[in-house]
């Protein structure tokens, strides 16, 4: 009896049915389809394993997921135009020895750039332009492309920049031949490339729509390489987000072809493992587990995605922890098509419960005494399937005071403890073994220095070498982002908002700096090359340009004479006061004097005493720097772990897809053991 007695039909991607129909049509005229390259991101644990690269914005690339499965996401954020690319190389076609081949992929613009209309999507046929000339239209710098979509501006036949809605793209550089694409919609690009005729038959389909939104034939100019090497995408400024999925390069052959199937770990629930076994139309899937009876599945039974589990009682609708005894062992899978049989794929199936990583805690804020805030991080990057992790905490005061608890916190949350005691942290996720660690909060700190630049008086500024420079006349005064509320009654309700826009200024010109010291032990890391100002009630400001007209980016500060056992708390604002605090002040009329006595900048960083910290030019402000010295002599983190994570050399080894492998026969690649990555070369 098979371990699973029912087939679960799951459409993993947005176009599965539609692509399947296309494959069936293709196979009706050919005996077999050979996959040369296939990327669905289902087995991807990180971006590096996919081959996607962004020369200028690597942080913009991420592996995302939804109800249909995983995909690649490229997010521009608050940046100018930025590009990313994937190279699979020309050798795939050259070694296949064919004169025609097909390429298809899915893409979706979750958001267009809201400032520029410069997006560009190109199928490359060289491997160098994407790195030599990133962040620009591919066609501008290379003739080696086989298909291209270039966004048109409102002055060239397109629409104005907008995050949502429709945008118009020129097809292969021809602004008279366009296609309109909608934000949020998924599209499939399908290309049939004939290297002898030098033509590309193209079609773009929208998910759920049978008729192509555009189709035609592009004649490739002489001199252009006909072998596709990868994909190039330019995201437009600002905040554009684009998704890619189901990238496939294939050839149709006259002989029978059976492609090696894929096995992707899709679920973990205690001992239970669930895999998706993938194969293409026209093939039959075969599998054997632990030398048991051979089972076979046709494509029509599951549309190419067969769900298998090591649990004999597997129930796909179960939402409770599995307590069934589940088997470990070896799963062998292969496909047949006509007279062809594929290579066998082998999966080592594990049934050990997967222990989660311990939550780490770093000091996020310090105050006089034992009070602190800890930032909690639960990193799922080395955990199979990267589950969503939650954190429970219990703080037990040393003096026997009230116990503080919290549950289901996300990674990155902050917990504040008021006194000496023990903070117990538990990492948990459904279907995984939880892990507990502790933070012994036994270090007492005292404020040793307070450089409150926002509260400097004229006398303080003069003492530090600054001279009066009138009042501020720039965005700090005219944007009105520094303000307070006057509360006329006893309760907040009847309030008056007042902007602080008459701001006294004190300046120390670049030529006046003889050393890097601001005041006391607070100093720049080098003598500043720009004018530096103090805005009364706001803080320290950097001009953006030197006397020679050269723009700076950020300057760095240190507090001299500190050790790693000390802490520096930095307060400041950004974007001309967008992040400033807005106090409520009791009174019958606006009271600017009261506002100026308050600390109206949030804490933006906590650093070890020997660390440097930066200030960005013009738009950001350094308001306050506080130094806290450790009154104890031990390790200032006070963090100890008491978890039960297995750290034996005999612990199971997993590949980056979360599949257990035989550690005695590891091929070159990246693996995980004891929750840590290692590389086999």
Could you tell me the CATH number of the domain that includes residue 142? 2.60.120.200
| pLDDT above 70: percentage of residues in the chain | 87
Q: Which residues, including other chains, have CB under 8 Å from residue 293's CB and lie 6 or more apart?
A: 2
Confidence of residue 506 (pLDDT cuts 50, 70, 90): very high
Q: Could you tell me the two tokens for 597? A: 């006595």
* Total domains present in the chain: 5
pLDDT, residue 633, reads 57
pLDDT, residue 421, reads 96
Separation in Å, CA 58 to CA 47, 76, 208, 597, 636:
9, 10, 32, 43, 34
pLDDT, residue 339, reads 93
**Which class for 511: exposed (0-12), middle (13-18), buried (19 or more C-beta within 10 A)?**
exposed
Over residues 456-473, the pLDDT tens digits come to 999 999 999 999 999 999
> Cα–Cα distance between 626 and 447 in angstroms, integer?
7
Please give the residue range of the domain that contains residue 672.
647-681
Is pLDDT of 96 > 70? Answer: yes
Residues 333 and 366 in one domain: no
Read off the pLDDT of each residue in 615-637 and give the average, rounded to a whole number. 84
pLDDT, residue 493, reads 64
Read off the pLDDT of each residue in 509-524 and give the average, rounded to a whole number. 97
Within a domain: residue 381?
Answer: yes
Read off the pLDDT of each residue in 644-657 and give the average, rounded to a whole number. 52
pLDDT, residue 20, reads 38
- Of 118-122, 156-160, 383-387, minimum mean pLDDT range: 383-387
Coil, strand or helix: which one is 571? strand
Within a domain: residue 10?
Answer: no
State residue 16 phi and psi, 5-degree precision.
-60, -50
Under DSSP, the state recorded for 592 is H
Find out whether 414 and 603 touch, Cβ atoms under 8 Å.
Answer: no
Residues 74 and 216 in one domain: yes
Within a domain: residue 8?
Answer: no
> Cα–Cα distance between 589 and 363 in angstroms, integer?
40
- Of 248-252, 372-376, 426-430, 670-674, minimum mean pLDDT range: 670-674
> Cα–Cα distance between 402 and 332 in angstroms, integer?
57
Coil, strand or helix: which one is 140? helix
pLDDT, residue 588, reads 83
Residues 438 and 561 in one domain: no
pLDDT, residue 212, reads 96
Read off the pLDDT of each residue in 297-301 and give the average, rounded to a whole number. 94
Q: Which of 326, 349, 372 is the last residue of a domain?
A: 349
pLDDT, residue 495, reads 86
Within a domain: residue 355?
Answer: no
Residues 237 and 283 in one domain: no
Burial 633-651 (b: 16+ CB within 10 A, else e): eeebebbeeebeeeeeeeb
Q: Which of 304, 320, 349 is the last residue of a domain?
A: 349
> Cα–Cα distance between 12 and 14 in angstroms, integer?
7
What does the DSSP assignment read for 114-139? SS----EEEEES-SSHHHHS-SS-HH
Residues 338 and 198 in one domain: no
> Cα–Cα distance between 621 and 571 in angstroms, integer?
9
Q: Are strands 567-573 and 603-608 parallel, antiparallel or unpaired?
A: antiparallel
Q: Which residue has the higher pLDDT, 488 or 123?
A: 123
Coil, strand or helix: which one is 27? helix
pLDDT, residue 648, reads 45
> Cα–Cα distance between 72 and 83 in angstroms, integer?
14
Residues 409 and 482 in one domain: no
* Dihedral of alpha carbons 49, 50, 54, 57, sign: negative
Strand-pair partners of 532: 508, 542
Find out whether 339 and 368 touch, Cβ atoms under 8 Å.
Answer: no
Could you tell me the CATH number of the domain that includes residue 394? 2.60.40
Confidence of residue 655 (pLDDT cuts 50, 70, 90): low
Cis peptide before 509 (omega within 30 of 0): no
Q: Could you tell me the two tokens for 364? A: 């996020």
Read off the pLDDT of each residue in 416-428 and give the average, rounded to a whole number. 96
- Of 195-204, 375-384, 486-495, 582-591, minimum mean pLDDT range: 486-495
Residues 307 and 427 in one domain: no
Within a domain: residue 4?
Answer: no
* Helix and strand element counts for the chain (H, E): 8, 50
Residues 365 and 465 in one domain: no
Residues 160 and 214 in one domain: yes
State residue 130 phi and psi, 5-degree precision.
-65, -25
Within a domain: residue 6?
Answer: no
Confidence of residue 632 (pLDDT cuts 50, 70, 90): confident
Over residues 337-366, the pLDDT tens digits come to 999 999 999 999 999 999 999 999 998 888
- Of 26-35, 263-272, 400-409, minimum mean pLDDT range: 26-35
Residues 120 and 47 in one domain: yes
Q: Which residues, including other chains, have CB under 8 Å from residue 664's CB and lie 6 or more apart?
A: none
Within a domain: residue 7?
Answer: no
Find out whether 401 and 409 touch, Cβ atoms under 8 Å.
Answer: no
> Cα–Cα distance between 65 and 126 in angstroms, integer?
30
pLDDT, residue 492, reads 59
pLDDT, residue 264, reads 87
Read off the pLDDT of each residue in 611-633 and give the average, rounded to a whole number. 93
> Cα–Cα distance between 159 and 282 in angstroms, integer?
44
Is pLDDT of 665 > 90? Answer: no
Residues 396 and 494 in one domain: no
> Cα–Cα distance between 541 and 557 in angstroms, integer?
13
Q: Are strands 483-487 and 584-586 parallel, antiparallel or unpaired?
A: parallel
Residues 456 and 493 in one domain: yes
Q: How many CB atoms lie within 10 A of CB 36?
A: 19
> Cα–Cα distance between 547 and 375 in angstroms, integer?
42
Mean pLDDT, the chain, whole residue set: 89
Q: Which residues, including other chains, have CB under 8 Å from residue 681's CB and lie 6 or more apart?
A: 668
Within a domain: residue 212?
Answer: yes
Q: Which residues, including other chains, have CB under 8 Å from residue 665's CB and lie 6 or more apart?
A: none
């Amino acid at each position: 009896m098979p371990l699973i007695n029912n087939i679960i039909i799951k459409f993993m991607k947005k176009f599965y049915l539609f692509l399947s129909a296309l494959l069936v049509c293709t196979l009706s005229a050919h005996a077999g389809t050979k996959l040369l390259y296939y990327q669905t991101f289902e087995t991807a644990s990180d971006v590096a394993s996919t081959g996607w690269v962004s020369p200028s914005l690597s942080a913009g690339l991420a592996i995302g997921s939804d109800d249909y499965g995983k995909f690649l996401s490229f997010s521009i954020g608050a940046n100018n135009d930025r590009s990313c690319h994937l190279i699979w190389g020309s050798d795939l076609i050259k070694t296949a020895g064919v004169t025609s081949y097909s390429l298809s992929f899915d893409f979706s613009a979750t958001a267009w750039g809201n400032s520029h209309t410069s997006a560009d999507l190109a199928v490359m046929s060289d491997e160098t332009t994407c790195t030599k000339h990133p962040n620009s239209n591919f066609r501008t710098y290379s003739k080696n492309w086989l298909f291209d979509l270039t966004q048109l501006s409102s002055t060239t036949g397109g629409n104005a920049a907008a995050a949502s809605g429709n945008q118009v793209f020129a097809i292969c550089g021809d602004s008279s031949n366009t296609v309109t694409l909608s934000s949020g919609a998924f599209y499939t690009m399908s290309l049939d490339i004939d290297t002898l005729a030098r033509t590309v038959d193209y079609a773009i389909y929208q998910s759920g729509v049978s008729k192509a939104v555009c189709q035609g034939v592009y004649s490739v100019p002489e001199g252009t390489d006909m072998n596709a090497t990868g994909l190039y995408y330019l995201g437009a400024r600002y905040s554009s987000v684009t998704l890619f999925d189901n990238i496939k390069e294939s050839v149709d052959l006259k002989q029978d072809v059976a492609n090696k199937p894929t096995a992707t770990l899709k679920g973990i629930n205690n001992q239970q493992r669930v895999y998706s076994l993938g194969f293409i139309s026209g093939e039959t899937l075969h599998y054997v587990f632990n030398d048991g009876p051979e089972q076979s599945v046709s494509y029509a039974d599951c549309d190419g995605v067969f769900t298998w589990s090591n649990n004999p009682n597997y129930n796909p609708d179960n939402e409770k922890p599995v307590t069934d005894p589940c088997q470990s062992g070896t799963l062998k899978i292969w496909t047949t098509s006509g007279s062809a049989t594929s290579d066998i794929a082998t999966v080592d199936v594990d049934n050990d419960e997967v222990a989660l990583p311990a939550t780490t805690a770093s000091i996020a804020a310090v105050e006089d005494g034992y009070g602190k805030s800890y930032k909690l991080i639960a990193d799922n990057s080395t955990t199979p399937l990267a589950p969503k992790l939650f954190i429970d905490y219990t703080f037990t005061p040393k003096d026997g005071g009230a116990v503080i608890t919290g549950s289901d916190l996300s990674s990155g949350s902050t917990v504040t403890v008021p006194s000496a005691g023990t903070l117990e942290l538990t990492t948990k996720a459904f279907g995984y073994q939880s892990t507990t660690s502790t933070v012994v909060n036994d270090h007492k700190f005292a404020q040793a220095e307070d450089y409150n630049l926002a509260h400097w008086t004229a006398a303080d500024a003069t003492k530090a070498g600054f001279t009066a420079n009138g009042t501020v006349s720039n965005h700090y005064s005219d944007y009105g982002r520094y303000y307070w509320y006057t509360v006329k009654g006893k309760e907040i309700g009847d309030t008056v908002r007042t902007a602080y826009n008459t701001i006294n200024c004190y300046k120390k010109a670049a030529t006046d700096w003889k050393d890097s010291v601001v005041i006391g032990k607070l100093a720049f890391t080098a003598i500043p090359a720009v004018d530096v100002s103090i805005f009364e009630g706001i803080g320290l400001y950097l001009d953006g340009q030197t006397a020679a007209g050269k723009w700076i980016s950020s300057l760095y500060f240190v507090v001299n004479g500190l050790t790693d056992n000390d802490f520096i708390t930095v307060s400041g604002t950004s974007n001309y006061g967008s992040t400033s605090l807005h106090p409520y002040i009791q009174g019958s009329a606006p009271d600017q004097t009261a506002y100026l006595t308050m600390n109206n900048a949030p804490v933006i960083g906590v650093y070890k005493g020997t660390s440097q910290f930066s200030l960005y030019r013009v738009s950001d402000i350094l308001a306050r720097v506080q130094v806290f010295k450790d009154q104890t002599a031990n390790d200032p983190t006070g963090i100890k772990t008491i978890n039960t994570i297995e750290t034996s050399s005999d612990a199971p080894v997993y590949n980056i897809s979360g599949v257990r492998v035989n550690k005695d026969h590891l091929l070159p690649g990246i693996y995980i053991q004891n929750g840590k990555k290692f590389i086999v070369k």
